[in-house]
Chain A
């Protein structure tokens, strides 16, 4: 219960801070001249993309350790991280087309970066469906761990796709070798947003972990279906 309360508090604080990021991004950050107001989608799209990828990396790492140790806490964390990663990936896949339409003239194109990101989303959905389909906890955790490790292996391809393939998606302007190509005020807004998305990830994962634990207790008592 302490963990659940902590998760709720972290999430509540993060949502309030997100409102602050909205105000800063919309009212106090300069408008980019060539893209206009649509460029401000960057402050939500990129932090969500970073955490969609980080969440899958953490799913993969905890899955590797789970296969060695069989510690149920690692499996619980992987399940929580996967669900939260799905939410962040959904944000990426909705804000991306909304940004792409005015800038590229199309909602979607089968470009390498976009396709790899869609594949990541489908991996997340597959991971969650797999967990929901297997009633035996040990078998569920083992199979999910294997899929989680496969998901982690896909993440570098997303990040490097803009270097490996001809693509419409822009090159990284912050997470790249060398200094970020952003003016200071825009970089600060982006960094604040990334901090808030990090806090949101932590708050959501802590709550989802506590929910899994609660469900496992009920499952052990034979009262509900598996998590």
Chain B
């Protein structure tokens, strides 16, 4: 079996970072609009 677990780990980290980053961005933008 090929040894390529690092690629899998990288992909799972990237997806987590993108999704959590976007959720955070929505939260911050909404908070800023609510305060305006």
Contacts and interface: CB of A to CB of B under 8 A. Distances in A.
Interface string A6-23: 001001000100100010
A190 interface: no
Contacts of B26: 11, 204, 207-208, 211
Interface string A204-217: 10011011001100
B18 A91 contact: yes
A94 B10 CA distance: 10
A214 B1 CA distance: 53
B3 A4 contact: no
Contacts of B16: 18, 22
A160 interface: no
B7 A38 contact: yes
Interface residues on A, range: 35 or more
A11 B23 contact: yes
Contact of B11 (A35, A44, A211): A44
B7 to A, nearest CB: 5
Contact of A102 (B2, B29, B30, B33): B2
Contacts of A218: 33, 36
Contacts, number: 90
A176 to B, nearest CB: 23
B4 A37 contact: yes
Nearest to B2: A36
Contacts of A15: 19-20, 23
Nearest to B26: A207
B33 A87 contact: no
Interface string A135-169: 00000000000000000000000000000000000
A26 interface: yes
Contacts of B20: 15
A189 interface: no
A211 B29 contact: yes
A37 B5 contact: yes
Given A4-B30, A38-B2, A91 B15 contact: yes
Contacts of A204: 22-23, 26
A163 B19 CA distance: 31
Contact of A8 (B1, B2, B12, B27): B27
Given A41-B7, A99-B11, A90 B18 contact: yes
28 contacts: A4-B30, A15-B20, A15-B23, A18-B16, A33-B1, A36-B1, A37-B8, A38-B4, A40-B8, A40-B12, A41-B7, A44-B11, A87-B18, A90-B18, A91-B19, A94-B11, A94-B14, A94-B15, A94-B18, A95-B15, A101-B7, A102-B2, A102-B4, A204-B22, A208-B26, A210-B30, A214-B33, A223-B36
